[in-house]
Amino acid sequence: MALWDKIRGEFIDIIEWTAPSESEHMAYRFPRYNNEIKMGAQLTVREGQAAVFVNEGRIADLFTPGMYTLSTQNLPILSTMRGWKYGFESPFKAEVYFVQTKQFTDLKWGTSNPIMMRDAEFGPVRIRAYGTYVIKVVDPKTFLQQLVSTDPEFELYEIDKQLRNVIVSRFADVIAEAKIPVLELAGNYDKLGKFICDRINDEFTAFGIDLLNFYIENISLPTNVEEALDRRTAMGVVGNLDQYIKYQTAEAIRDAAQNTGGGAAGVGAGLGAGLGIAQRMMESMGAHPSAPAASTPPPLPQSPAYYLGIGGQQQGPFDRAAMQAQIATGQLTSETLVWSQGMASWTPAGQVADLAQLFAAVPPPLPSQK
């Protein structure tokens, strides 16, 4: 009996791999050690798996989900490699890799450094982004050749960093080419995700992997830029600054009045708080177009002063009242040359519109007595 057990131990007659549901193994080499696989052995490939036979480093036959009894009929490539003829069925040595073909979901990606982009409204800005993606092995042979090689237990973390680097690199290219305004990025996550998925998938296919879904969870700006946008939004919400200031002042007075222990001092403090809010708003945003005008009136307009040319001599300057006195005494007539700031040359007083009214108010000379 012991001899029979020893002989049975030299052959493998059941080949299967039961991976835990949460396993991150992408490929697993069946532990053959020095044992030989017996012709007629049972191979079980479960859903979400594929089994690949490797002979002396060369990939041979591939098995999809199902239960198989191994023979030269369902190992055609391996049979050719080993030179089996006429159905020769002897035990053989071969490596068997089980490859997970299920979906690997909720894989994280994110920009480790800000991405610089040019926005039409804000100019150069830096953004960060993160999200998730979903992959699946669709070509187990290529996956083994390009990534697994001789690794007996190939896990997700071994390729995850490389995939993230590809994603971030292509994400930067797509963002630059899309030319979507920063304020509209949030409304285009789905569109960008699909575009990036199509753009990147060819590079994943080179590893035998398919990028099934790509999700953008957030695209953010630097903190100081977001604060500036918040202030800009607040200004838009406030609208009429004058009404807002009055409202804030009234609220402060009401809150102080409700504080019965504070009395008049509390009301004064509330009023001061309201005025302080108003002052800070005015300083930070500037006066609103609808704000009332200043209480101090502007200076009264000054009448122009004129110089007179009398007897070949320049006299003055005289204001409007003095000019009227000069007319009354006969010193200033409509033919007298005058000049004021802004006039191109000396002009007869009667031809100056501002002075012509003064001459119209002077009565004509009294008629002579007979």
pLDDT in tens, 106-115: 999 999 888 8
> What φ, ψ does residue 149 adopt, rounded to 5°?
55, -115
What is the pLDDT of the chain when averaged over all its residues?
81
As a whole number of angstroms, the distance between CA 162 and CA 203 comes to 11
pLDDT at 215: 94
Distance CA 163, CA 205 (A): 11
Tell me the per-residue pLDDT of 346-370, one tens digit each, with 9 for 90 and over. 888 888 877 777 777 666 666 666 5
User: What does the pLDDT average to over 149-157?
Assistant: 91
Going by the DSSP 8-state scheme, the letter that residue 57 receives in this structure is: T
Residues 217, 219, 223: CA angle, nearest 5 degrees: 130
Beta strands in the chain (DSSP E): 11-15, 25-29, 36-45, 49-55, 58-63, 66-69, 95-100, 103-110, 115-119, 123-137, 153-155, 209-220, 306-310, 313-318, 337-340, 347-348
Q: 353-360 vs 320-329: helix axis angle to the nearest 10?
A: 50
Q: 105-133+156-224: which CATH topology?
A: Tetrahydropterin Synthase; Chain A (3.30.479)
What gap in Å lies between CA 222 and CA 114, rounded to an integer?
A: 9
- For residue 209, count CB atoms less than 10 angstroms from its CB and return exposed for 0-12, middle for 13-18, buried for 19 or more: buried
- What count of residues does the chain have? 370
Residues with Cβ < 8 Å from 357, sequence gap 6 or more? none
Predicted model pTM = 0.60
